[in-house]
Amino acid sequence: MSDCLFDGKLEGTNNSNSNWSGLVGWIYNTTVNISNSLFAPASVDINGKLYTIYGNFLTFNESGSTLANLYTTMAGSSSTYTQGTVATSEELADGTTTANLQNGRSEVIWVQDPVANQPMLAVFVNAVKLGDVNGDHNIDENDLDVIVKIVMGETPSDIQELAGDLNNDGKVDAADVVKMVDILNGAGETPQQPENKVVTLTTTVGLSDGATGATTRALTDDGIRTFAEGDMMAVVYKNTSGNTVKAESVALTEDDIAEDGKSATFTVTLNAPDKTQDVTYIYPAAMAKADGSVNYDALLEQDGTLATLASQLDYCTNSGSWNADDLPSLTLENQLAICAYTLKNSTGSSEITNTIMGMTISDGTYNYTVSRSPVDDPIYVAIRPVTNADIEITATDGSTNYIKSLTGKTYAANNGYNISLKMQLTYPIALSNVTSPYIGSVITTDGNVYATVGDAATDGETAVAQIITVAHHLALALEDEGSMEWSEAISACSAKNGTSDAVTGASWRLPSVDDWELMGVTDTNMTLGDLINGFASVGGVNMDASREAGGYWSSTDNGPEDEDDAWFFDFFTNIWYNYGKNIGRKVRACLDF
């Protein structure tokens, strides 16, 4: 059972169990298939009461039957049976449901009623006899009465409105009353049957070359825009009732594509087109809304892949007038700028594109959000053209957030841009949320992280430590505590927890040998200069690696068997020593977060 329409009033009696149903197909001990159908009752009236349909589409052999592409105007009350997709009044009126029921078939089965602006079967369009408004196969006073009632405000059925439009102007009005009176009085000719308003046409379109080096369509490796199998185009036109209608073409096949993909022939079905009005092509069809306007909303959430951008988002368009009864052949012009982003860390030393899961591009008017699986490929984003715009780009790998601000940027339509960015970390960030890229950043007493001491001060916060290792949650104070004996060093570092240097969610101590080594301080590490001299660049004081400094204490001693000595590291010789606790040495406190 296929291509069925019910849009009348469902009435009945003897409602013993209230389980009323819609379209039902049943053959004893055999499965039944129902497809491409619409159940749209005006009302369900049982014994004078309105009831909810139990199941919109039933076969009684659900497990072996096929129920596909089914639509309804009312939700069923049972989850046991197939209810179909509920079509909204907007979807019925704008042609969406009609296109869904047509289901891409070349033979025209479903059309949009140009008068009622809702789905109807094409067979009824051709079966209408003008003047026979009441459907009794005669043209007489009874038909005149129905036309008058329609003109006076009574809602006609689809067939009544088509049969009553005696002058074929797309509406039933007083002019049709006059014409019917003339016919009944013998003063007028029997009305001519209307021409078939449903037409299937083809049009050949091409893609513009765009600017040199443009990478807009980009289904090919070198960025040349091409048509591909499966592509669809939307045709936006006016029908004879003055309504704007969107129709979608049949998907392209290999035979439809020519000139190495630069040209394609689309097949589309139009219903009662007004050939005095221009038509507009929107390609790909996904960029057209049901009302024929451009679906810019589709750009707001993208997946960053070239394939999706090319097939669904790379908006091209053009408009033109009819060539007699034929659709115009046009060259489609791209309306978007296509950006291919590659991202690096702040120094440019490391590629991070292959870690990025999410990205947002904000131009002050629109926010384009990308959600993707991390891959090595550039992140492709289609955006609306901008001129001299300030753009903010944020990105995340799921744990680390990045940001980049660009000023005075112009991205023109029909152009592609390869954009490489050195991304900055986002600040401030809670200390509990830091990841390895934040190594070298500073920690403030309120438990947040900033890039530098100065940045923290701008926000009124005090920076006291620099992150050395995230994996082991260790930081060092931004300056030495001074030079002192071992026991004083332990006390001085611990005392910081009770001063203005105390950090929310962290604790100070004199670093142990293990702490120093987790921070990279070993006698085999020949790059300790990066640690020693890494504090001044963020607003701190570098460590002292001179001979005179005498090294930095650790909290590790030799235990009860040797109470006089403790371990310290001499940054001048790059060696660990175990020596007297009573000798003054440098102290740099360690923060455990």
- pLDDT more than 90, % of the chain: 56
Structural contact between residues 193 and 302, judged by C-beta atoms closer than 8 angstroms = no
Place of tokens 């009573």: 582
Query: Is the pTM higher than 0.75?
Result: no
* Residue scoring higher pLDDT (13 or 72): 72
CA distance 38 to 583: 93
Strand, coil or helix: 4: coil
Domains and CATH numbers, the chain: 5-86 (no CATH), 198-333 (2.60.40), 337-425 (2.60.40.1120), 431-592 (3.10.100)
pLDDT digits over 180-212, tens only? 998 888 876 666 655 545 566 778 888 776 443
Lowest average pLDDT, out of 4-13, 164-173, 473-482, 491-500, goes to 4-13
Confidence at residue 161, expressed as pLDDT on a 0 to 100 scale = 81
- Whether residue 265 is predicted with pLDDT greater than 90 in this model: the reply is yes
Structure-token pair, residue 171: 């509406």
Structure tokens at 446: 């309120």
- Kindly write down the DSSP assignment for every residue of 459-502, as one continuous string: TT--EEEEEEETTTTEEEESS--EEE-HHHHHHHHHHGGGSTT-
- Nearest Cα neighbor of 73 from 157, 6, 173 is 6
Q: What's the pLDDT band for 22 if we cut at 50, 70, 90?
A: low
pLDDT band at 288 (very low <50, low <70, confident <90, very high): very high
d(Cα 248, Cα 202) in Å, to the nearest integer? Answer: 12
- Pairing state of beta strands 234-238 and 279-283? antiparallel
